[in-house]
Amino acid sequence: MTREEGRGKREECIPVAALLLAAATAANLYAQGPQLSPEVRQYVSVDTPLVAITHVKLIDGTGAPAAPDQTVVIANGKIQVVGAAATVKPPAGARVMDLTGHMLIPGLIGMHDHTFYLTYGVERPIQSNYSYPRLYLGSGVTTIRTTGSMSPYAEINIKAEIDRGDSPGPHMYVTGPYIIGPKPDPRLEPFGALRAATPEAARRAVAYWAEEGATWIKVYASISRAQLAAVVDEAHQHGMKVTGHLCAVGYREAVALGIDHLEHTLFANSEYDPQKQPDVCPPTYRSAMTNLDIGGEPVRATFRDLVSRGVGMTSTLAVYECTVPGRPTRHAHVLEAFSPEMQREDSVRFATVSQGKVASYWPAVFKKTMDYEVAFVKAGGLLVAGVDPAWCITAGRGDQREFELLVEAGFTPVQAVQIMTANGAKVLGILDRVGTVTAGKNADLAVIRGDLTARAADIENVTLVFKDGVGFDAVRLVEAAKGQVGLR
């Protein structure tokens, strides 16, 4: 995609007549979308078929530099034109929104965004059907892939409610339950996981969840090569894709078996441990990472395999930060979403981590993982991002923290936006519809008070979120979730 294409041909504005035609027909076409229930409408602040966002600074998700003083016209839920405010005039009948002092980006695409919260230490999964959809959307996340489910039917039902307009929330791509190997390790076995005792059992599980509506399958750490091969083959026959939080299988082995994607970047790659044995997750694989040479041949070989096969990785720095002493892992806007019980548990976690009662390798591995992700992108790799909401971070707010951590790792704000928008859309196969602020695409957008190119933390100041052209009050959505995370 060229810079001009990514920017919607800023200097070639859509003729005024075309915009007027859009305005005249939008009301009828707009009504074809889902009828929003009163429960959803209480969060809607912009619901007109023709909107002009003016005088906003834009990062469009294509990788092009940030552009000041832009106008974006939305009609019938689609982006109609993008260009300089000096040359693009709002069409007659449009609701004009002067957003001077704000930044516009594509809606974030969370690629590891569960609908459950996992507590620290005792690791109790708490399905969060009410709070999480609101937190995601209110934080600027307009699309999620759930990437492993503790309650897959709950997710299928949440998705259906959102699609019908009965509940607020992001677009959802549902992943079936975790599939684990025949010899599960208690350290590595998620609640609700399917134990694939044989390759045939793995195939049956994949076929079942394909019929139930899952579009991705996630394998987990104890999966063996034989089971993984069966999962990949069966999933591909059903038009599904496979991602994995691996350990017993190394990344290069998984790529050779046809896996489509990999989670947690360096954190879950055991292949650099000298003690690694086939189909076994070595207990030393993370401590071994402290001596890893990011520029060395083993890492370069991994990257070559991934890039040549088009296999991307998901960054989840926000959740692993929770285990690193000295990191800012008590965020006020996260704590206010926790129930009293969760706030007490987080106090225990914070004390444990801050007092250094965690593995000594975490600070080094955390920094090494940041360097690994930057090197992967420099090698031509496709990096996406998600929150993996657990331990100390929640839905949505963790996606925002992920953006800040990507910038800390060395990516520019423009690169970080592209990683969290267009790249995710590419992995999901929907880049033709969302992921960039480009004429013709769905109006899935996040409005941010401030300037991400000057201060990454401004990502926390989401004020308005457009999903299919409907503008949601971000503050109201987040307010509705206060104190709700952790309630059963």
pLDDT tens, position by position, 202-221: 999 999 999 999 999 999 99
User: Does pLDDT of 4 surpass 70?
Assistant: no
Across all residues in the chain, what is the average pLDDT? 92
Which residue range(s) make up the domain with 355? Answer: 108-428
Do the domain assignments include residue 485?
no
| Separation of alpha carbons 411 and 92, rounded Å | 40
Same domain, 40 and 154: no
| Separation of alpha carbons 242 and 219, rounded Å | 7
Residue owning tokens 């070559």: 304
pLDDT band at 223 (very low <50, low <70, confident <90, very high): very high
For residue 360, the domain's CATH number is 3.20.20.140
Provide φ and ψ at 174, rounded to 5°: -90, 130
Same domain, 416 and 450: no
Question: What is the tally of structural domains in the chain?
Answer: 2
Q: Which range, 28-37, 298-307, 336-345, 349-358, is most confident?
A: 298-307
Distances (CA, A) of 386 to 78, 128, 316, 401: 25, 17, 5, 10
Output the six-digit token pair for 41: 């409408």
Predicted pLDDT at 188: 57
Helix axes 397-409, 362-378, angle to 10 degrees: 80
pTM summary value? 0.93
Do the domain assignments include residue 219?
yes
Same domain, 202 and 295: yes
Closest CA to 329 of 242, 404, 384, 254: 404
Predicted pLDDT at 216: 98
User: Does pLDDT of 30 surpass 90?
Assistant: no
Predicted pLDDT at 335: 95
Same domain, 122 and 271: yes
pLDDT band at 192 (very low <50, low <70, confident <90, very high): confident
Predicted pLDDT at 1: 39
Do the domain assignments include residue 80?
yes
Predicted pLDDT at 121: 80
User: Does pLDDT of 25 surpass 90?
Assistant: no
For residue 87, the domain's CATH number is 2.30.40.10
What's the rounded mean pLDDT across residues 118-139? 92
Do the domain assignments include residue 344?
yes
Predicted pLDDT at 486: 87
